[in-house]
Structure 1
Amino acid sequence: MSNLFVVAYDDLATAQQVRDKLLSMNREYLVELDDIVVVERRAKDGKVKLHQTVNHAATGAVGGALWGSVIGLLFLVPLLGAAVGAAAGAAGGAATDTGVNDDFMRELSENLRPGAAAVFVLVKQAARDKVVPELAQFGGQLVQTSLSHDEENQLIDMAKAARAGAAAHTAVTG
């Protein structure tokens, strides 16, 4: 079972740095992600914008074009098959919503102040002792989790301890 974490940041750039850090840790097998999305509430117009990591429409189009070409070859019209397959794959991919529900992200992000951003992360598993200190350096405010209250409090305490340790290290080496 995966756990949801929503962390708010003061700006889009910090939220994107956190996303990039988590994706890097995913490649290092420190965390296993089901989904990660950066959501910003624009400063100009207050609208909520989702920055999805996976583009389902593009993925569907590529897969559809490949299968359309194969089927088109069977009927001696590979280009038509590829075109129809790409269109069908893109439509199917756009309709696919895996991971965190888009409507839920938009609704929760309406509470962000304009100019702020949040990272929505669906985590299968993680090496907490390595992941939490790496992410604590970015600050942020834990908005919501699917953890129990005890587990959430432990996570908050780990993040506070990591920030305090980083601050003490900076003061000594600074």
Structure 2
Amino acid sequence: MSEFIVVAFDDITMADTVLARLKRLQKEYLVDLEDAVVAVREADGKVDLKQSVNLVGLGAASSGLSGAFFGGLIGLLFLNPLAGMAIGAAVGAGSGALAGSLSDYGIDDNLIREISGTIKPETSALFLLVRKAQPEKVLSELSQFKGKVIRSSLSPENEEKLQKAISGLGR
């Protein structure tokens, strides 16, 4: 089961910095992120979301490949597999991009906007859906950043450990 964590930061760039560090840790197999979103609240109160998963591109790529495969099979029936592959890939990529733009993956966008509306202007928040992690190693990496856990599905003990690490108290 994935854990949901939201950490707020006092400036607009820190959430991006922490996400970049977590992605590096993911490459080292120390954390497995299912989804991550950076929310930045501008001075005028507007909230900008930066999704870590590009659903339009992901949908277009996967549907384009399957469209090319099935288009090639249908093209074999009409003795023109290359035309079938090309048409199938185009139709598959288009429908996949449309499906990707209409779908919501991971953390619900409405929940992100609701929580982001509670942070101060000119600050940022990092929304994480974590499948699994090596807590000791990840917490030691995050101890240099100053943030505040504003919501999580962690146990109270683990949330307290995370808060101490991310606020610099766990050093």
**TM norm. shorter chain > 0.5:** yes
AA aligned opposite 1:20: A
SS in structure 2 of the partner of residue 12 of structure 1:
coil
Partner of 2:34: 34
| Cα separation, partners in 2 of 1:85 and 1:164, compared to 1, 3 Å | closer
Give yes or no for contact 1:40–1:50 (8 Å, CA) kept in 2. yes
Partner of 1:150: 157
SS in structure 1 of the partner of residue 160 of structure 2:
helix
SS in structure 2 of the partner of residue 39 of structure 1:
strand
Overall identity of the aligned pairs, in %: 40
1:44-90 Cα distance to aligned partner (Å, 9 max, x none): x4221211111011111112222222222223433322221111111
Shift of 1:163: 4.3
Kindly tell me the number of residue pairs found equivalent between the two proteins.
163
Q: Which runs of 5+ in 1 are unaligned?
A: 166-174
Partner of 2:5: 5
Distance 2:52 2:13 in 1: 15
Distance 1:42 1:157 in 2: 27
Give yes or no for contact 1:133–1:163 (8 Å, CA) kept in 2. no
Write out the 4+ residue segments of structure 1 that deviate beyond 6 Å after TM superposition: none
Partner of 1:61: 60
Q: Which runs of 5+ in 2 are unaligned?
A: none
| Cα separation, partners in 2 of 1:115 and 1:152, compared to 1, 3 Å | same
| Cα separation, partners in 2 of 1:114 and 1:56, compared to 1, 3 Å | same
The structure where helix makes up a greater share of residues is 1
Q: How does 1:47-126 map to 2 (within 5 A)?
A: 47-73=46-72, 74-75=74-75, 76=80, 77-126=84-133
Shift of 1:164: 6.0
TM-score (norm 2): 0.86
TM-score (norm 1): 0.84
Distance 1:108 1:21 in 2: 23
CA RMSD of aligned residues (A): 1.8
